[in-house]
Chains A and B, each alone.
Chain A
Amino acid sequence: MKPRRSFGRIPRPIGTPAEADDNRQDQSELSVDLDENLRTIESILGNASDLAVRRLALPGEPQSSLAVVYLTSLVNTENVSLTVIEPLLSLSDVAYRSAAMAADPLESLRLTLPTVRPISTAGSMKELIDSLLEGKVVMLIDGASGALYFDALRPPTRLFQLPTSETTVIGPQIGLTESVDDNLALIRSRLKHPRLRVEQVIIGRKSRTDVRIIYLEGIAPREVVDELRRRLHEIDIDMILDPGVIRDLITDRPYSPFVMERMTERPDTVAAEVNLGRIALLVEGSPFAMLLPSQFFTLIESAEDYYLNSLSASLLKLLRAFAYILSVLATPIYVAVVNYHFELVPLPLLLNIAATQEGVPFPLPVAAFLTEMVLDVVREAGIRLPRQFGPVVSIFGAIILGQSAIQAGFVPPGLIIVAMMGTICSFAVPRAEKALAYRLVRFPLLLLGSILGFPGITIGSVALVYHVASLKSLGIPYAVLYPPGHTARLAKKLVRTAEHNQPATRPLAPTDKVRRGKVPEPRDPKNGD
Chain B
Amino acid sequence: MINPRQLFFIIALTRISALLVLLPVVTAGNALQDAWISVIVATVVAILFVWLGAYLAMKHPGKSLGQFSRDLLGKTGGAITTGLLAISFYVLCLIRTRLVSLVIISHFMPKTPGWALAIPVLLTAFYGAMMGPDTVGRASEFLFTVMALIIVVSMVMSYVWSAERVAGLKPVLSRGLRPVFGAAVPAAFLGLMSGLKVLALGRFTVEEHKMPKATALALLVSGLVLLVVTIDVLTTLGPAQAQAYVMPVLALASSVFIEGILERLDLVLMTAWVLGITFDVTVLLASSSILIGDSLGIGHRKVAAALFLLGVVPVSHRFTDIFVMRQLHSIPVTGIWSAAICVGTLAPVFIAYLIKKRRGGS
Residues of A near any B CB (own CB < 8 A): 340-341, 343-347, 448, 451-456, 458-459, 461-463, 465-467, 469-470, 477, 479-482, 484, 490
Contact = CB atoms under 8 A, between A and B. Distances in A.
Nearest to A482: B141
A392 B322 CA distance: 58
Contacts of A455: 100, 104, 108-109, 117, 270-271, 274
Interface residues of B, number: 39
A469 B267 contact: no
Contacts of B143: 462, 465
Contact of B128 (A340, A344, A454, A466): A466
Contacts of A347: 263
B160 interface: no
A120 to B, nearest CB: 47
Interface stretch (B130-138, B185-193, B222-230, B344-352): B130-138
A454 B259 CA distance: 21
Interface stretch (B49-57, B119-127, B331-339): B119-127
Interface in B112-171: 112, 116-117, 120-121, 124, 127-128, 131-132, 134-136, 138-139, 141-143, 145
Nearest to A461: B275
B278 interface: yes
B279 interface: yes
Contact of B124 (A340, A463, A470, A479): A463
Nearest to B206: A484
Contacts of A456: 120
Given A466-B128, A484-B3, A453 B278 contact: no
Interface in B1-36: 3, 5
B267 A452 contact: no
Nearest to B101: A455
Contacts of B310: none
Contacts of B124: 459, 462-463, 466
A482 B275 CA distance: 20
Contact of B278 (A459, A481, A484): A459
A470 B135 contact: yes
Contacts of A341: 108, 264, 267
Interface in B70-129: 100, 104, 108-109, 112, 116-117, 120-121, 124, 127-128
B117 A452 contact: yes
Contact of A465 (B100, B142, B267): B142
A482 B134 CA distance: 14
B109 A469 contact: no
A458 B277 CA distance: 11
B127 A463 contact: yes
A451 B141 CA distance: 28
Contacts of B131: 466-467, 469-470
Nearest to A472: B134
Nearest to B6: A482
Contact of A480 (B100, B132, B138): B138
Given A458-B271, A470-B135, A345 B127 contact: no
Which 8 A-B pairs rank lowest in CB-CB distance, beginning with the nearest? A469-B138, A481-B141, A470-B135, A469-B139, A470-B131, A466-B128, A458-B274, A463-B124
A449 to B, nearest CB: 12
Nearest to B275: A458
Given A452-B109, A455-B108, A484-B5, 8 more contacts: A341-B267, A454-B267, A458-B278, A462-B275, A462-B278, A469-B136, A470-B138, A477-B138
A447 to B, nearest CB: 11
B5 A482 contact: yes
B104 A477 contact: no
Contact of B120 (A346, A459, A477): A459
Contacts of B136: 466, 469
A459 to B, nearest CB: 5
Interface string B174-212: 000000000000000000000000000000000000000
7 contacts: A452-B117, A454-B271, A462-B282, A467-B127, A470-B134, A479-B142, A482-B141
A469 B139 CA distance: 6
A303 to B, nearest CB: 26
Contacts of B112: 452
Contacts of B5: 482, 484
B134 A477 contact: yes
Nearest to A340: B109
A456 B108 CA distance: 12
B260 interface: yes
A480 B262 CA distance: 32
A490 B141 CA distance: 11
Contacts of B127: 463, 466-467
Given A455-B274, A481-B142, A345 B108 contact: no
B261 A346 contact: yes
Contacts of A344: 262-264, 267
A448 B143 CA distance: 19
Interface in B277-292: 278-279, 282
A346 B263 CA distance: 6
